[in-house]
Structure 1
Amino acid sequence: MRTNKKTLAAGFGAAGLLGLGLYVAVPAAAANPSPSPSTSAKAQPRKDHPRAARAIRGLRGVHGEATVKRKDGYHLATWQRGQVTGRSGAALTVRSTDGATWTWTTDAKTRVRENGAKSTLSALANGDQVLVFGERSGTTRTAAFIREPKKR
């Protein structure tokens, strides 16, 4: 009988860890920031990124990636917290505190929030602290959402 209780406890623990992983990974990758060749699908506004931002902010992570499965296949969701070190055309370079420097491609679909309000890419300047969410395909990271936290 003891073995059954241990087995149940281990199962509940594993289910809890799986649930936590899904809570963090799924919202970050729920929307596909890259253009789709489908002509029948109508573009829907992406409203789930702020929820993902809250989840990642709670973890205090610096940067990361997760492979997620969607209806159209597997995608590599990625995020980074750091300081803007450069902006040139559609490219935004962000450096994390651990030294990782990633260049993000932006487009007309990239949403920017500053101090909780809608903003623009042109409002971002070198030295601004940001949290970037997007997707990686090969070596290209495409930003879907950029959040500049409130200045203290």
Structure 2
Amino acid sequence: MRRTLLALGITGLVSVALAGCGASSPAVSADVADEAIALQQVGFDTGLADNPSPSASDGTGDAPRKQLRKYLRRNTLHGEVTIQTKKQGAKTIVVQRGQVTAVAGDRLTVKSTDGFTLTWAYGDKLRIVQDKKTVEKSALKTGEEIGVAGTRDGDVTSARLIAVK
């Protein structure tokens, strides 16, 4: 069962990434388009990915795929996927849902409910949204529930988009 859910989770993240690596929504700057779609697919509505991927909205998907997306939106805690982009080449996108355990300087630490902890550096052009509106870094406080998406380059994971619940 665990392997099946892991495979489904990885498959879901791959499909999220593949759906998001083409054109981005006009409401999303190119800088955070992939991250906005990734957070949307795991249940955080940032208001930035107004045009979901065609497979999610064109009615051609079958019921099991819709159920899988719904399951992933509610239950994905963290993950990463590497995609091929036209402009940047290979890009590793990381997503995490959890509670802020520390905020210090240009970094924050998030702990998911399964115990996975990751320290994120604030990336260039970081966007923080709450209730579909851009907010300041001061909204990030210890104990706050967030969804975060960004990129990994070597050992550094950079937050590019944070959704505060």
Q: Scaled by the length of structure 1, what TM-score is found? A: 0.68
What one-letter code is carried by the residue in structure 1 that aligns with 2:145?
Q
Question: 1:27–1:49: 8 Å Cα contact kept in structure 2?
Answer: no
Corresponding residue for residue 55 of structure 1: 41
How far does the alpha carbon of each residue in 1:14-41 deviate from its partner, in whole angstroms, 9 at most, with x for none?
A: xxxxx9665411366679xxxxxxxxxx
Deviates more, 1:120-129 or 1:49-58: 49-58
Deviation at 1:51, TM superposition (A): 3.4
Counterpart of 1:86 (choices 71, 83, 102) is 102
Alpha-carbon distance in structure 2 between the residues aligned to 1:93 and 1:113 = 17
Alpha-carbon distance in structure 2 between the residues aligned to 1:26 and 1:125 = 33
Corresponding residue for residue 120 of structure 1: 136
Counterpart of 2:112 (choices 88, 96, 104) is 96
Check 1:82–1:27 CA distance in 2 against 1; reply closer, same or farther (3 A cut). farther
What one-letter code is carried by the residue in structure 2 that aligns with 1:148?
V
Give the SS at the match of 2:17.
Answer: helix
Indicate yes or no: 2:39 matched with 1:24: no
Check 1:118–1:56 CA distance in 2 against 1; reply closer, same or farther (3 A cut). same
Q: Any stretches of 5+ residues in structure 2 without a counterpart? A: 1-10, 24-28, 44-69
Deviation at 1:56, TM superposition (A): 1.6
Deviation at 1:120, TM superposition (A): 1.3
Alpha-carbon distance in structure 2 between the residues aligned to 1:24 and 1:98 = 22
Alpha-carbon distance in structure 1 between the residues aligned to 2:127 and 2:22 = 15
What one-letter code is carried by the residue in structure 1 that aligns with 2:16?
V
Check 1:138–1:124 CA distance in 2 against 1; reply closer, same or farther (3 A cut). same
Q: Scaled by the length of structure 2, what TM-score is found? A: 0.63
Deviation at 1:74, TM superposition (A): 1.1
Higher alpha-carbon Rg: 1
Identity of aligned residues (%): 34
Check 1:97–1:20 CA distance in 2 against 1; reply closer, same or farther (3 A cut). closer
Deviation at 1:123, TM superposition (A): 1.5
Corresponding residue for residue 67 of structure 1: 82
Deviation at 1:121, TM superposition (A): 1.2
Question: 1:94–1:101: 8 Å Cα contact kept in structure 2?
Answer: yes
Question: 1:27–1:52: 8 Å Cα contact kept in structure 2?
Answer: no
How much is the aligned-residue C-alpha RMSD, in angstroms?
Answer: 2.6
How far does the alpha carbon of each residue in 1:90-140 deviate from its partner, in whole angstroms, 9 at most, with x for none?
A: 101000001111000004511000122211112210000000000011111
Q: Any stretches of 5+ residues in structure 1 without a counterpart? A: 1-18, 32-42
